[in-house]
């Protein structure tokens, strides 16, 4: 039997060795315990973590670790060290005797001292690991967070290994609509499981992390990029026990392959994010790689954003008017106000700046600038004694997040004392359930003010019939794609267009076709009872002074009559 002094030295040597172990659990722990196991009759040393409610909500799960195991007695009474650490989380260290070696009082006292000292040493490492978990994991998803992603990329750059990897920046598509359809709690489950599915195909140091909101980031080996991209194109994720409890989720992504050209983590992340924004808002693609063409586009975007405030102040943005024409009389019955940027005596093509302004939300300022100038022109035509026609002014979907939009539109029109019936607010069709609801609210408010609304590019999205049913637009603009491929009334596109025109007319909406370029298209529209059109067949968008001449003429000459 060991003396007290021998027991003390044994225990002291064990704990001194454990203090040198810098990990919470490793092979060294088992080796140290094995050295004293015969003297203390140790059959097992175990650890349990029971997270509190807040930790469970943040993705933390109960954990059990075995530091040492050698035929423990499952029925013998163990010695337990049990503590609450933070936010209700409990940690438990347990030491069990070996089978057939029941502890006497002296041995139990030694086992208690052993597990207490061991637990006190390991507790600090446990808390350190907990702190690392908190700072490296997203609280809502339990996945890695942005800080961890930055650490990973920075480490690979410092070790000169970034060339083997690519950085992804991803935006999950349609999260608002998903939450509206299946509820936010289920939407969160889908997002979490989507991240877990993406992460499951990766190997360290590859990783998926949450940036925030519906944005994700990832570090992926270049050899896996294609297979990873395929997963991003769409996956069915279960959120409940039933077979029908599934939702298809996808993401738009920007990819920046690592190279020696990048010396900072921020450069890689910014490049990937810029590509994602370009893919989603400008190119309307599922993904985009960072290359020389993208660099040029990004430089153009930066130039546009920097030049925009001065261009607004100097009124470089000009209103051009494309006439809307009655196909029955060839009269000019209205016009669409279109923006042209005249800079340095040259016109900047709309596709060079409109998508950039939409991405940066500066398009909201431009839309109100355009409405202001349209109202100013109408006021001028009225004051000259002319007979103005109704003008439609475009508003981006981005405005739908503005609860005061209708009020601001009315205030702008009333500033020039323009009759409300001379303005049409033109909105683009949406497939988002959330935007559909907000659009409906806006259309009803404007209708109460006597301001008509038009839905542009109708037929491009997937919610067309719902919009016809639920939103009382005054005018329907048939997208040019219906006219592009055929002038045969038996063609499938033509049949669809004919029924859309018929339904819209019965619902009290006017129909107008845009992009009309040929006499055959005019005949097709007449056959379908669509008697308004705009397009190059009549006129390209005209500067203000040329449009005034067109207004004075009143109608197009007999030369274009059919």
Whether the predicted pLDDT of 431 surpasses 70: no
Q: What is the mean pLDDT of residues 415-436?
A: 86
Same-domain check for residues 453 and 403: yes
Contact residues for 375 (Cβ-Cβ < 8 A; gap 6+): 412, 413, 415, 416, 418, 423
Are residue 178 and residue 54 in the same domain, yes or no?
no
Q: For residues 542 and 522, what is the distance between their CA atoms, to the nearest angstrom?
A: 21
Residues recorded for the chain: 562
pLDDT at 489 over 70: no
pLDDT exceeds cutoff 70 at 463: no
Q: CA 217, CA 222: separation in Å to the nearest integer?
A: 15
Q: Which of 243-247, 368-372, 416-420, 542-546 has the lowest mean pLDDT?
A: 243-247
CATH number at residue 416: 3.20.20.450
Q: Which of 130-139, 347-356, 515-524 is predicted with the least confidence, judged by mean pLDDT?
A: 130-139
We report the CATH number of the domain holding residue 43 as: 3.30.450
Report the pLDDT value the prediction gives residue 460, as an integer from 0 to 100: 46
Q: How confident is the model at residue 58 (pLDDT cuts 50, 70, 90)?
A: low
Residue 425: closest CA among 475, 365, 362: 475
Instruction: Grade residue 462 by pLDDT with cuts at 50, 70 and 90.
Output: very low
As for how many domains the chain has, the answer is 3
Q: pLDDT of 221-264, one tens digit each?
A: 999 999 999 999 998 999 988 888 899 999 999 999 999 888 89
Indicate whether 231 belongs to any domain.
yes
| Helix, strand or coil, per DSSP, at residue 247 | strand
> Averaged over 53-68, what is the pLDDT?
83
Q: What mean pLDDT is predicted for residues 64-88?
A: 92
DSSP state for residue 110 in the 8-state scheme: H
**Range of lowest pLDDT (19-28, 30-39, 440-449, 486-495):** 486-495
Residue 336 φ/ψ, nearest 5 degrees: -105, 130
Long-range contacts of 372-375 (CB under 8 A, 24+ apart): 372/412, 372/415, 373/319, 373/337, 374/319, 374/337, 374/423, 375/412, 375/413, 375/415, 375/416, 375/418, 375/423
Pairwise CA distance, residues 466 & 464, whole Å: 5
In this predicted structure, what is the pLDDT of residue 150?
94
CA atoms of 257 and 254, how far apart (whole Å): 10
Task: Tell me which residue of 114, 119, 124 sits closest to 13, measured CA to CA.
Answer: 114
Phi and psi at 549, nearest 5°, equal: -65, -40
What mean pLDDT value characterizes the chain?
89
**Contact in structure between 198 and 217 (CB atoms under 8 Å):** no
Q: What phi and psi values does residue 532 have, to the nearest 5 degrees? A: -130, 145
Answer whether 324's CB lies under 8 Å from 330's CB: no
Residues 115 and 166 in one domain: no
CA nearest 429: which of 392, 453, 455?
A: 455
Residues 221 and 102 in one domain: no
What confidence tier does 416 reach under pLDDT thresholds 50, 70, 90?
Answer: very high
Among 136, 167, 198, identify where a domain stops.
Answer: 136
| Last-in-domain residue among 267, 290, 313 | 290
**Are 168 and 107 within one domain?**
no
Identify which has the larger pLDDT, 45 or 499.
45
User: 145-159, 493-507, 526-540: which range is least confident on average?
Assistant: 493-507
pLDDT given at position 456: 83
Please say which residue of 290, 315, 339 terminates a domain.
Answer: 290
- Higher per-residue pLDDT: 2 or 102: 102
Rounded CA separation 131/128 (Å): 5
Q: Which of 99, 95, 83, 6 is nearest to 45 (CA)?
A: 95
pLDDT of residue 432: 67
pLDDT band with cut points at 50, 70 and 90 for residue 292: confident
Supply the DSSP symbol for 74.
Answer: S
> Does residue 395 sit within a domain?
yes
Q: Which helix (H) or strand (E) holds 341?
A: strand 332-343
Question: 508 in a domain, yes or no?
Answer: yes
Confidence of residue 487 (pLDDT cuts 50, 70, 90): low
What's 349's DSSP letter?
P
Are 12 and 54 part of one and the same domain? Answer: yes
Tell me: pLDDT of 459 over 70: no
What confidence score (pLDDT) does residue 461 get? 45
Q: Say if 382 falls within a structural domain.
A: yes
Q: Which residue has the tokens 């890689």?
A: 268
Q: Any idea what the CATH number is for the domain that residue 223 is in?
A: 3.30.70.270
Residue 408 lies in a domain: yes
Residue 490: predicted pLDDT? 63
pLDDT at 488 (0 to 100): 59
Cα–chain center distance at 254: 12
Binned at pLDDT 50, 70 and 90, residue 7 comes out as: confident
Tell me what percent of the residues of the chain surpass a pLDDT of 70: 95
Is the model's pLDDT at 558 over the cut of 60?
A: no
347 and 485 inside one domain? yes
Does 392 score more than 90 pLDDT?
A: yes
Please check whether residue 533 lies inside any domain of the structure: yes
Q: Is the pLDDT of residue 64 over 90?
A: yes
What pLDDT, on the 0 to 100 scale, is given for residue 557? Answer: 77
Residues 121, 150 share a domain: no
Q: What is the CA radius of gyration of the chain?
A: 34
Q: Are residues 388 and 505 located together in one domain of the fold?
A: yes
Same domain, 307 and 433: yes
Whether residue 189 sits in one domain with residue 307: no
Least confident of 301-310, 330-339, 495-504: 495-504
Partners of 97 in the β-ladder: 42
User: Would you state the pLDDT for residue 342?
Assistant: 94
**Does some domain include residue 503?**
yes
Range of the domain at 318: 301-555
Which one is predicted more confidently, 552 or 480? 552
Same domain, 314 and 285: no
**pTM for this predicted structure:** 0.64
Q: What's the rounded Cα separation, in Å, for the pair 18 and 155?
A: 29
pLDDT above 80 (res 556): yes
Q: Judge whether 470 lies within some domain.
A: yes
């Amino acid at each position: 039997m060991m003396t007290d002094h021998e027991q003390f030295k044994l225990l002291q040597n064990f704990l001194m060795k454990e203090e040198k172990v810098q990990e919470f659990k490793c092979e060294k722990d088992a080796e140290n315990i094995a050295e004293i196991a015969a003297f203390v009759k140790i059959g097992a040393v175990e650890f349990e973590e029971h997270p509190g409610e807040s930790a469970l909500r943040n993705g933390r799960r109960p954990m059990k670790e075995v530091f040492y195991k050698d035929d423990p007695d499952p029925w013998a009474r163990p010695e337990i060290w049990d503590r609450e650490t933070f936010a209700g989380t409990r940690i438990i260290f347990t030491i069990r005797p070996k089978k057939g070696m029941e502890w006497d009082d002296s041995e139990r006292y030694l086992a208690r001292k052993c597990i207490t000292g061991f637990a006190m040493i390991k507790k600090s490492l446990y808390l350190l690991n907990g702190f690392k978990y908190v700072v490296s994991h997203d609280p809502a998803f339990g996945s890695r967070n942005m800080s961890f992603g930055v650490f990973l990329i920075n480490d690979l750059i410092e070790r000169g290994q970034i060339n083997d990897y690519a950085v992804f920046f991803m935006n999950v598509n349609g999260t608002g609509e998903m939450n509206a359809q299946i509820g936010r709690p289920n939407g969160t489950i889908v997002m979490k499981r989507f991240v877990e599915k993406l992460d499951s195909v990766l190997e360290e140091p590859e990783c998926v992390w949450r940036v925030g909101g519906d944005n994700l980031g990832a570090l992926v080996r270049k050899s896996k990029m294609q297979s990873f991209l395929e997963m991003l194109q769409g996956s069915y994720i279960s959120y409940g026990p039933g077979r029908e409890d599934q939702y298809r989720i996808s993401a738009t992504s920007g990819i920046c392959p690592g190279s020696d050209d990048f010396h900072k983590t921020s450069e890689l992340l910014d490049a990937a994010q810029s590509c994602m924004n370009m893919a989603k808002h400008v190119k309307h693609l599922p993904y985009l790689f960072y290359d020389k063409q993208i660099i040029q586009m990004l430089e153009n975007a930066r130039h546009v954003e920097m030049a925009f405030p001065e261009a607004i102040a100097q009124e470089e943005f000009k209103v051009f008017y494309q006439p809307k024409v009655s196909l029955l009389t060839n009269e000019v019955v209205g016009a669409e106000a279109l923006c042209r940027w005249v800079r340095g005596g040259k016109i900047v093509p709309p596709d060079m700046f409109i998508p950039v302004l939409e991405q940066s939300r500066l398009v909201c300022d431009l839309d109100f600038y355009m409405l202001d100038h349209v109202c100013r022109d109408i006021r001028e035509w009225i004051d000259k004694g002319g007979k103005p026609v109704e003008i439609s002014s475009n508003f981006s979907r981005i405005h739908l997040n503005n609860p005061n939009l209708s009020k601001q539109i009315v205030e702008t029109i009333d500033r020039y004392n323009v009759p409300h019936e001379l303005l049409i607010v033109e909105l683009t069709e949406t497939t988002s359930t959330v935007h559909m609801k907000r659009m409906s609210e806006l259309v009803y408010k404007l209708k109460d003010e006597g301001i008509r609304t038009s839905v542009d590019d109708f037929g491009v999205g997937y919610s067309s019939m719902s919009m016809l049913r639920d939103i009382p637009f005054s005018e329907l603009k048939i997208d040019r794609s219906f006219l592009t491929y055929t002038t045969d009334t038996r063609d499938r596109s033509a049949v669809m267009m004919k029924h859309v025109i018929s339904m819209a007319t019965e619902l009290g909406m006017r129909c107008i076709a845009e992009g009309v370029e040929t006499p055959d298209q005019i005949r097709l529209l007449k056959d379908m009872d669509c008697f308004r059109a705009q397009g190059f067949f009549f006129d390209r968008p005209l500067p203000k002074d040329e449009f005034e001449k067109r207004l004075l003429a009143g109608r197009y000459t007999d030369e274009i009559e059919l």
